[in-house]
Amino acid sequence: MFSEEKVNKLVAEISDNYASEELFLVKDGSGMPNRDCIKHIIFEIRRIMFPGYFDSENLSNTLPQYFVGHNIIRLHKELACQIKAALVQQASEENRLSDIEEKAEQIATEFFMSLSEIQRKLIKDVQAAFDGDPAAKTKHEIIFCYPGLFAIFVYRLAHELYKRKVPFIPRIMSEYAHSHTGIDINPGAQIGEYFFIDHGTGVVIGETTIIGNNVKIYQGVTLGALSTRSGQLLRDVKRHPTIEDDVTIYSSASILGGKTVIGKGSVIGGNAFITESVAPGTRVSVKNPELSFTDKNNKNKDKEIFD
Amino acid sequence: MFSEEKVNKLVAEISDNYASEELFLVKDGSGMPNRDCIKHIIFEIRRIMFPGYFDSENLSNTLPQYFVGHNIIRLHKELACQIKAALVQQASEENRLSDIEEKAEQIATEFFMSLSEIQRKLIKDVQAAFDGDPAAKTKHEIIFCYPGLFAIFVYRLAHELYKRKVPFIPRIMSEYAHSHTGIDINPGAQIGEYFFIDHGTGVVIGETTIIGNNVKIYQGVTLGALSTRSGQLLRDVKRHPTIEDDVTIYSSASILGGKTVIGKGSVIGGNAFITESVAPGTRVSVKNPELSFTDKNNKNKDKEIFD
Amino acid sequence: MFSEEKVNKLVAEISDNYASEELFLVKDGSGMPNRDCIKHIIFEIRRIMFPGYFDSENLSNTLPQYFVGHNIIRLHKELACQIKAALVQQASEENRLSDIEEKAEQIATEFFMSLSEIQRKLIKDVQAAFDGDPAAKTKHEIIFCYPGLFAIFVYRLAHELYKRKVPFIPRIMSEYAHSHTGIDINPGAQIGEYFFIDHGTGVVIGETTIIGNNVKIYQGVTLGALSTRSGQLLRDVKRHPTIEDDVTIYSSASILGGKTVIGKGSVIGGNAFITESVAPGTRVSVKNPELSFTDKNNKNKDKEIFD
Amino acid sequence: MFSEEKVNKLVAEISDNYASEELFLVKDGSGMPNRDCIKHIIFEIRRIMFPGYFDSENLSNTLPQYFVGHNIIRLHKELACQIKAALVQQASEENRLSDIEEKAEQIATEFFMSLSEIQRKLIKDVQAAFDGDPAAKTKHEIIFCYPGLFAIFVYRLAHELYKRKVPFIPRIMSEYAHSHTGIDINPGAQIGEYFFIDHGTGVVIGETTIIGNNVKIYQGVTLGALSTRSGQLLRDVKRHPTIEDDVTIYSSASILGGKTVIGKGSVIGGNAFITESVAPGTRVSVKNPELSFTDKNNKNKDKEIFD
Amino acid sequence: MFSEEKVNKLVAEISDNYASEELFLVKDGSGMPNRDCIKHIIFEIRRIMFPGYFDSENLSNTLPQYFVGHNIIRLHKELACQIKAALVQQASEENRLSDIEEKAEQIATEFFMSLSEIQRKLIKDVQAAFDGDPAAKTKHEIIFCYPGLFAIFVYRLAHELYKRKVPFIPRIMSEYAHSHTGIDINPGAQIGEYFFIDHGTGVVIGETTIIGNNVKIYQGVTLGALSTRSGQLLRDVKRHPTIEDDVTIYSSASILGGKTVIGKGSVIGGNAFITESVAPGTRVSVKNPELSFTDKNNKNKDKEIFD
Amino acid sequence: MFSEEKVNKLVAEISDNYASEELFLVKDGSGMPNRDCIKHIIFEIRRIMFPGYFDSENLSNTLPQYFVGHNIIRLHKELACQIKAALVQQASEENRLSDIEEKAEQIATEFFMSLSEIQRKLIKDVQAAFDGDPAAKTKHEIIFCYPGLFAIFVYRLAHELYKRKVPFIPRIMSEYAHSHTGIDINPGAQIGEYFFIDHGTGVVIGETTIIGNNVKIYQGVTLGALSTRSGQLLRDVKRHPTIEDDVTIYSSASILGGKTVIGKGSVIGGNAFITESVAPGTRVSVKNPELSFTDKNNKNKDKEIFD
């Protein structure tokens, strides 16, 4: 029943859609960056950052310099290739390919030269998780299993590329971590050391958020914008809050707005909804969470809700 | 220590479980639909909808009719085969296999004939995302990375099969998107054009929800039922709300109940919990989010919570 | 530009990080448990628990004892091997390898001998889901598609290993389910029969939670700790609530604290934030969810939020 | 330069070739047997025949009945499916699908019921190889590595299907072994016990060959037809020789013709070219292999050949 | 025991080998052609040439133009890419990359435009095999299983590239077929229509061989050079024989030398060793294949050979 | 029709075969060496031997020491593991596992320390092929495509393990090359430098063969034993010929016997069958290859053969 006539009709309609929409004009002769390749780079860098955890064989113990050297040379080539693909999509006609290649090579090199510093930060993030979660049996378990650490790790990589204005790739990275963990950290966010996200599902950290050192947040926390009605006009405006050092934010709290500052050492209670700044050292809780307690057998107007 | 005696005992117990439970009676000689095949169909249709984004080579620029024609013929066969498997599981004994095959073929054909219209809707969804998110650099980035768009795309496919009463497959599709994005749109929901979900993790849109055009929702929003205590008795009853055109619903708001209507152009604030209708053009916010602000060093009865 | 000098410098820095950090000392000669193998075990046990659903061919109908016997012998070996790897990582120097192997073998055997009982519990969980969700068309659909059932299934496996103090593997299992479903059930939790989680994204169930029979919970529910400021000092303390039989907890409710008990038959409304015990048979709802309803065109101080 | 015009031209030409040639009329709606599936069946049966050699884990030691039972049930289904596909291609219009399915099922069953006898023959073939080859270190090595044994193993499977007149599949099997080993045994040949082929590359054993027990042959041996000028007219005529018990045939010997009989206990020397029968107990050698021995520096008319 | 010292020593030695040998100077920044990609192209073209045989689904029956069009566009791109890689390796410094790309594109286009003619030749080759082999049940079996046809098919593709002086790729193709079938046809050979190779293992057809129409050859036949002592000095000299129309060459015959012509309609017997031309219509057989027939029990000087 | 009764019967028969045959007693708890792993080692060492040819990216140009170092450490571990598996199968009960592990480690280390010398030999083999084959366009083509070089490469690896009496693995390696190229070089053979095999299909080189430097052999050549009637009694006896330096052996020649020596600089013509020694500098050709030349139309008694 999928007759020749129907097939031809559908082919014509979709071809027409292609022809009429600028969206479909991915640049001819050059593909988009390759998502699987970028995932691969993430996982391979994780093997370098945390040697022995994700190998079937613990190769790094023996003469680790060969393990490290071989892999960074290999991954540098792969990343430079992906960055080039991303830059080409964004390039205008007057950009020369050789300039783009040189820029891609340079960004990839800077990215890799930042890895040992990122590694030192991740060690601190592991410590923060161990100190912050009584359910953590060992630091090994955190490295091996915790989605929060994975999301932070990917963020720290993506942020290095975001800073260098690489298109597509930082977002591919952060959306991969988002899909895997339910934690959505925009690569533009600025995040300090000893950062810990527990459980994490539903956490959103917006593009212009600034987070200090030693901050701990729980599942469902939003660090967001107040309104996005103005759309693209808000681009590059600081729309998300600033969280100072030593702040804890419990589950499902929302902190909104580019001018909102949570002062150093504050503690924000679960479900709090905050749109204005909070002074340092403040403990904020949802006051009198006014609940109605009724006997279930006492039929009343709540019936419709909870029956 | 996993002795012959223990193995035989366990085998007998599990075989007994099989024998005593109707659940295990998947129809003999015919498997359930194949999940991997259905994922494959989703990804291949995405390549047709957004040509050039998810190919390693941009094949569609050259004579796109061959690319489109070949792939729809191939995918039509695969989908018809999966629909048949689903229908067989549901069929009673008097259904003839040839009738089932014909019905599967017909549904697959109708599904494919709807694709160009779905493609036009998706282009509008992309526009809505670009207009609604200042963090979006380009429309390409939305197509390539945004989980909200992916969830809507899958919903629009699944809904076509839901309308035609195909068992299993719409739900497999929507649960795949749910797993991937944290966004759970029941394939039965009815959703208009220019729809945008930002971040998305934790969004739930129930089976009998109706959503108009130009609606924007954020992470953690529930469009749900008031109560499901009556279980299967509620089947086919409208249990979820109606959202009219031009409504924005901010993060973690809950709108519950089949009679609840959010009027055209309303704006629902974050964390709002709504169980009754709201007039058109209303701005609803959580009033006086009563918070307690205390000095952290001032030990009080909140201590236990935030210590 | 990734010059010999730069490569050598980076290699030296990362090698130094390796040398200075105890974290990297995964035990030489023995890898961590293998995550892919553990996923494989989960999926293969699922094929035994629900025969016919996840096979391309329905092999179990014909002489199921061969299907069951072959697979449990095979999987028992694989699991014993993974448990051994986990125990080795945790072992001190005086532990003998043969003792570890024997212990791994014993735990794997006990685990498998519990499978028929787990299977009977899962059948009840399927019934609970069918009774509790009007959108469920058939029990088959629940087994085949529902993320809540998958999370409970994985929890029931992981809990058996947690009880026997196997390191790493229970957490790898639960984090796999968490990543797949957005539902984070710590393997230490104790959960009764007829358990149902609907939608599920964002659900967190802490390590020392106790849940009775016939409990139903929705997306975004947290069964958590009041505070974790004391970190590792709280290890093994009961930090999470007790939920008695026949309780329903609607979406995004938070129930916190190790002394908090939700009495038998209670119903907790959506968004409720509870830190103290609730008597049996109580219906708790967010009272007067004080909302501000304003005309959108009436510019007021809410403007900043919802503009 | 692969212009629209050229593409369209080539598409038209090839489509015309399709339309004009009966060859292309593989029956609609039913594919040919699947080569990869048939390879899979060969390798899986090898695991049953020689347990422990080709498994990563030696599963058969523990309660082998589960290992054997599970695998024969599974493989029986796969083989019946392939036989059905082969029979369908050959069927005429009056054949009913249900009859074909029943026949496929029956042939697969008979095939499997012959496996224990084939296994006993293979054990004798292994013994023949060990006795016949001083380079063989152990019988294990023969099972694990020897191409001759592999070719015989595949022949013994293929012959069971040939006897039952299954189209395509016996030839697919024998050509797989041919490709893998360079040994081409037509599945129609009749071969006795204790059969050994050493090295094997280039061995050809024709369709109507009959070979007794305890025969040993070397690389490059042809057991062939005298002439095939009559083509299809010779079908089913005995065209290939008979080799009686206890015969050895050294490398590159050719024995041709359907009436040619090599009598019991004969030994055929390397390079012999035989077109007539040989009495039992005869030793045949290439007599006076007349060679010219010249000094290389003595230029003569052989120059052209060996210069 | 693989100490740091030993590793460093071996690394230094191999690095020295790299540095001192020109062989290792594969051009920087551009890999060799990719063998797996070339195999893929061969198999995909086979699906176009013989539609329905090697697909799991017979896609070509429905609107074959889409199947053909899509695949030739796709494969044209892949082949052009491989040809470019091959040309780059061979290019000197003054060659411009854009010229190389254009040439690769042009050769790929010419190659594809020759496919319908090749397809018509292959249909004749199938007919030749069916007419020539009484063991062939159907033409389908020949297409599906016969190694001779596969070798000819690959030769016909490789020859088109050889004619256009593409480096590496024709040889990769022919060596793939050689490995798969034991038939070694140099892509430079010129071969007419209705060509059939039976069994085929050990067949060698040299680079400058010329073969007419309707020729049939058997396993082990060599069409070779007389001597190659002069090595590279013989490049481009005709070193291999000419076989005129309607010739049959039986197994293991050798025909050597560039001036050797086998006249039209001749028949060359098995094991014949021919270094001079043969007149048309000649039947050549190994005359009096002088064999010694002795009783095995009669010990004589042949003993050493056949004992 | 594959009834429960039949399945149970077949299971019992095969289980009986297992129980009664020593062959099936692969040592419990330890598998055979893994064939795929050994193939992997071969291909990875090839990448080190010929850098840039078989990588998709040419990684070795940049700081080759990291490429080499990383890969030899990795492959050394893999090979030691396989050698251990092989030694365990062969070990008697009094062997201690730690001794076996140490021996495996030592052999693997010696093997790797021989690689730079093997690499130097392979470079000479490449030169020999280029000098010897006018059809070779470049040395690159030989490295990339020639089956003869591949067979020699694998032989040179396997021989190092054979010398150290590793069971199974040398034979697995040589049979892999045999299957791939049709060239069967027993790993026990001793072969000098500048060795070249052209075409190669059907070449057999026996276990106790000794070959000098600068030897060239063609397809179908056998360097074999006179008789193997004595079977295992001949083990370790020199059964295969000695070929001195600078010898050429043309296609399909057979040289048999452990006392047969082909003197330095000799040339052996195609199809020669030699069982006694040949003095240095001799040119051996098949004298007067007596052929019968008859007119095809002249019906005579040859008719049966060539009709």
For D103-117, how does the pLDDT look when each residue is reduced to its tens digit (9 = 90+)?
999 999 999 999 999
Longest dimension (CA), chain B: 78
Determine whether the interchain pair E239/F134 forms a contact, defined as Cβ–Cβ distance below 8 Å: yes
Give mean pLDDT, residues A55-61.
66
B137 band by pLDDT with thresholds 50, 70 and 90: confident
User: Is C184 a residue whose pLDDT tops 80?
Assistant: yes
Q: Give ipTM to 2 decimals.
A: 0.91
Residue of chain F minimizing CA distance to C64: F4
Determine whether the interchain pair F116/E175 forms a contact, defined as Cβ–Cβ distance below 8 Å: no
Residue among D152, D184, A231 at smallest CA distance from E135: D184
CB-closest option in D59, D71, D73 to C63 = D73
Longest dimension (CA), chain F: 78
In eight-state DSSP terms, residue D27 is: P
Burial class (CB in 10 A: 0-12, 13-18, 19+), D228: buried
The gap from C-alpha B34 to its chain's centroid, in whole angstroms, comes to 18
User: Is E300 a residue whose pLDDT tops 80?
Assistant: no
User: Is C173 a residue whose pLDDT tops 80?
Assistant: yes
Alpha-carbon distances, residue B237 vs B233, B234, E13, F145 (angstroms): 9, 5, 78, 70
Residue of chain D minimizing CA distance to C75: D59
- Do residue F156 and residue F202 come from a single domain? no
Cα gap D25→D17, rounded to integer Å: 11
CB D71 within 8 A of CB C73: no
Chains F and B touch (3+ CB pairs under 8 A): no
In this predicted structure, which of B290-299, D116-125, F267-276 has the lowest mean pLDDT? B290-299
E287 compared with B104, residue with greater pLDDT? B104
- Do residue A113 and residue A88 come from a single domain? yes
Domain-located, residue D1: no
In eight-state DSSP terms, residue B256 is: E
User: Of A182, A202, A231, which residue sits at a domain end?
Assistant: A182
Residue pLDDT, tens place only, A139-187 = 999 999 999 999 999 999 999 999 999 999 999 999 999 999 999 999 9
Give chain F positions within 8 Å (CB) of E90.
138
CB B233 within 8 A of CB C132: no
Residue of chain B minimizing CA distance to E74: B59
Residue pLDDT, tens place only, F130-147 = 999 988 989 999 999 999
Give chain F positions within 8 Å (CB) of E36.
none
Chains E and C touch (3+ CB pairs under 8 A): no
Residue of chain C minimizing CA distance to A104: C1
User: Is E306 a residue whose pLDDT tops 60?
Assistant: no
Domain-located, residue E139: yes
C42: enclosing H helix or E strand: helix C35-49
- Do residue C85 and residue C157 come from a single domain? yes
Residue pLDDT, tens place only, C8-67 = 999 999 988 888 877 776 666 667 899 999 999 999 999 999 988 887 666 666 788 999
A276 band by pLDDT with thresholds 50, 70 and 90: very high
User: Is B1 a residue whose pLDDT tops 90?
Assistant: no
Domain-located, residue F254: yes
Q: Which structure tokens are listed for D84?
A: 């059905």
Return the percentage of chain A with pLDDT > 90, whole number.
69
Cα gap D228→E219, rounded to integer Å: 14
DSSP-derived 3-state class of residue C51? coil
Give chain A positions within 8 Å (CB) of F57.
74, 77
Determine whether the interchain pair A116/C17 forms a contact, defined as Cβ–Cβ distance below 8 Å: yes
Please list, in sequence order, all residues whose beta carbon lies within 8 angstroms of the beta carbon of residue E6, skipping any fewer than 6 positions away: F109, F112, F113
Q: Does D66 touch chain B (CB under 8 A)?
A: yes
D300 band by pLDDT with thresholds 50, 70 and 90: very low
Q: Which structure tokens are listed for C44?
A: 């293969």
- Do residue E215 and residue E147 come from a single domain? no
Interface test with C, best of D59, D70, D82 (most C CBs within 10 A): D70
Tell me the torsion sign for CA atoms D137, D138, D144, D148.
positive
A228 band by pLDDT with thresholds 50, 70 and 90: low
Q: Which structure tokens are listed for F287?
A: 């004298």
Domain-located, residue F204: yes
Domain-located, residue E254: yes
Q: Which structure tokens are listed for B190?
A: 């009815």
Give mean pLDDT, residues B33-53.
94
pLDDT of E111 reads: 97
CB-closest option in D55, D108, D306 to F267 = D306
Q: Which structure tokens are listed for F31?
A: 């598998």
Determine whether the interchain pair D23/E295 forms a contact, defined as Cβ–Cβ distance below 8 Å: no
pLDDT of C90 reads: 85
Q: Does C134 touch chain A (CB under 8 A)?
A: no
User: Is D41 a residue whose pLDDT tops 80?
Assistant: yes
Domain-located, residue F167: yes
Determine whether the interchain pair A14/B252 forms a contact, defined as Cβ–Cβ distance below 8 Å: no
Nearest Cα of chain B lies from the Cα of D4 at a distance, in angstroms, of 7
Cα gap D133→D189, rounded to integer Å: 24
Across the beta sheet with B204-205, what order do the strands follow? B184-185, B204-205, B222-224, B254-256, B273-274
- Do residue A194 and residue A175 come from a single domain? no
Give mean pLDDT, residues E11-20.
88
D304 band by pLDDT with thresholds 50, 70 and 90: very low
Q: Which structure tokens are listed for A247?
A: 């702040």
User: Is C267 a residue whose pLDDT tops 90?
Assistant: yes
User: Is F216 a residue whose pLDDT tops 90?
Assistant: yes
Give chain F positions within 8 Å (CB) of A67.
70, 73
Determine whether the interchain pair E50/D267 forms a contact, defined as Cβ–Cβ distance below 8 Å: no
DSSP-derived 3-state class of residue B238? coil
- Do residue D65 and residue D168 come from a single domain? yes
CB B284 within 8 A of CB B267: yes
pLDDT of A306 reads: 41
Determine whether the interchain pair B69/E71 forms a contact, defined as Cβ–Cβ distance below 8 Å: no
Q: What's the full length of chain A, in residues?
A: 307
What value does the mean pLDDT of chain F take? 89
What range does the domain containing E76 cover?
27-182
User: Is F239 a residue whose pLDDT tops 70?
Assistant: yes
Q: What's the N-to-C CA distance of chain A in angstroms?
A: 49
C166 band by pLDDT with thresholds 50, 70 and 90: very high
pLDDT of C28 reads: 60
Interface test with F, best of E16, E165, E273, E284 (most F CBs within 10 A): E273
Subunits that touch chain A (at least 3 Cβ pairs < 8 angstroms)? B, C, E, F
Ranges assigned E (strand) in B200-260? 204-205, 210-211, 216-217, 222-224, 242-243, 248-249, 254-256
Return the percentage of chain E with pLDDT > 70, whole number.
89
Interface test with D, best of E120, E199, E276, E300 (most D CBs within 10 A): E199
Across the beta sheet with F267-268, what order do the strands follow? D291-295, F282-286, F267-268, F248-249, F216-218, F196-198
Residue pLDDT, tens place only, E211-254 = 999 999 999 999 999 876 667 777 788 999 999 999 999 999 99
Alpha-carbon distances, residue F99 vs C303, F106, F164 (angstroms): 79, 11, 16
Residue pLDDT, tens place only, D180-237 = 999 999 999 999 999 999 999 999 999 999 999 999 999 999 999 987 666 777 778 8
CB C89 within 8 A of CB C168: yes
CB E134 within 8 A of CB D233: yes
Residue pLDDT, tens place only, C51-107 = 888 876 666 667 889 999 999 999 999 999 999 999 998 888 788 888 999 999 999
A285 band by pLDDT with thresholds 50, 70 and 90: confident
Cα gap F198→E222, rounded to integer Å: 12
Interface of C with F in 46-65 (CB under 8 A): 62-63
Q: Which structure tokens are listed for B222?
A: 């529930």
Give mean pLDDT, residues E255-273.
94
Q: What is the CATH number of the domain that holds C246?
A: 2.160.10.10
Give chain B positions within 8 Å (CB) of A271.
271
Cα gap D271→E300, rounded to integer Å: 20
A56 band by pLDDT with thresholds 50, 70 and 90: low
Q: Which structure tokens are listed for C138?
A: 């058939």
Residue of chain F minimizing CA distance to D182: F182
Interface of D with F in 238-297 (CB under 8 A): 248, 251-252, 256-257, 270-271, 275, 286, 289-297
- Do residue C121 and residue C220 come from a single domain? no
Give mean pLDDT, residues F218-224.
96
pLDDT of D298 reads: 55
Nearest Cα of chain D lies from the Cα of E267 at a distance, in angstroms, of 11
Residue among A165, A199, A206, A168 at smallest CA distance from A184: A206
Q: What is the CATH number of the domain that holds E123?
A: 1.10.3130.10
User: Is B305 a residue whose pLDDT tops 80?
Assistant: no
- Beta strand pairing call for B204-205 and B184-185: parallel
DSSP character string of A224-242: E-S--TTGGGGTTS--S-E
C-alpha dihedral, A140 to A144 to A149 to A155, nearest 10° = 130
- Do residue D176 and residue D210 come from a single domain? no
Q: What's the N-to-C CA distance of chain E in angstroms?
A: 49
What value does the mean pLDDT of chain D take? 89
Domain-located, residue A76: yes
Q: What are phi and psi of E227, to 5 degrees?
A: -150, 150
pLDDT of C22 reads: 73
Give chain E positions within 8 Å (CB) of A7.
63, 66
Interface of D with E in 193-212 (CB under 8 A): 201-202, 204, 206-207
Give chain C positions within 8 Å (CB) of A199.
184, 204
Domain-located, residue D272: yes
CB-closest option in F2, F11, F63 to C7 = F63
CB F47 within 8 A of CB F55: yes
CB D263 within 8 A of CB D244: yes
**Secondary-structure breakdown of chain A: helix, strand, coil percentages, each rounded to the nearest 5:** 45, 15, 40
What value does the mean pLDDT of chain A take? 89
Give chain E positions within 8 Å (CB) of A4.
63
Give chain E positions within 8 Å (CB) of A63.
4, 7
Give chain C positions within 8 Å (CB) of F63.
4, 7
Query: How many domains are there within chain E?
Result: 2
Q: Which structure tokens are listed for F141?
A: 């083509």
Interface test with D, best of E70, E271, E286 (most D CBs within 10 A): E271
Determine whether the interchain pair B77/E66 forms a contact, defined as Cβ–Cβ distance below 8 Å: no
Residue pLDDT, tens place only, F260-276 = 999 999 999 998 889 99
pLDDT of E301 reads: 43
Residue among D204, D272, D224, F197 at smallest CA distance from E305: D272
Buried b (16+ CB within 10 A) or exposed e, B97-122: eeebbebbbebbbbbbbbbbebbebb
User: Of B134, B150, B182, which residue sits at a domain end?
Assistant: B182
Nearest Cα of chain A lies from the Cα of B133 at a distance, in angstroms, of 6
Give chain B positions within 8 Å (CB) of E71.
70
pLDDT of F59 reads: 66
In this predicted structure, which of B34-48, B52-66, D122-136, D161-175 has the lowest mean pLDDT? B52-66
- Do residue D114 and residue D139 come from a single domain? yes
What value does the mean pLDDT of chain E take? 89
Determine whether the interchain pair E222/F227 forms a contact, defined as Cβ–Cβ distance below 8 Å: no
Ranges assigned E (strand) in chain B? 184-185, 190-191, 196-197, 204-205, 210-211, 216-217, 222-224, 242-243, 248-249, 254-256, 261-262, 267-268, 273-274, 282-286, 291-295
F197: enclosing H helix or E strand: strand F196-198
- Do residue A261 and residue A138 come from a single domain? no
CB F178 within 8 A of CB F156: no
**Secondary-structure breakdown of chain B: helix, strand, coil percentages, each rounded to the nearest 5:** 45, 15, 40
Give chain A positions within 8 Å (CB) of E2.
62
Alpha-carbon distances, residue D240 vs B287, D155, D191, E291 (angstroms): 97, 17, 13, 21
Q: Which residue type sits at D175?
A: E
CB-closest option in A4, A11, A63 to E4 = A63
pLDDT of D297 reads: 59
CB F196 within 8 A of CB F178: no
Residue among A165, A49, A114, A112 at smallest CA distance from C2: A112
CB B68 within 8 A of CB B5: no
- Do residue C109 and residue C161 come from a single domain? yes
User: Is E288 a residue whose pLDDT tops 80?
Assistant: no
Interface of B with A in 12-51 (CB under 8 A): 48, 50-51
Determine whether the interchain pair B23/C126 forms a contact, defined as Cβ–Cβ distance below 8 Å: yes
User: Is B289 a residue whose pLDDT tops 60?
Assistant: no
- Do residue B145 and residue B69 come from a single domain? yes
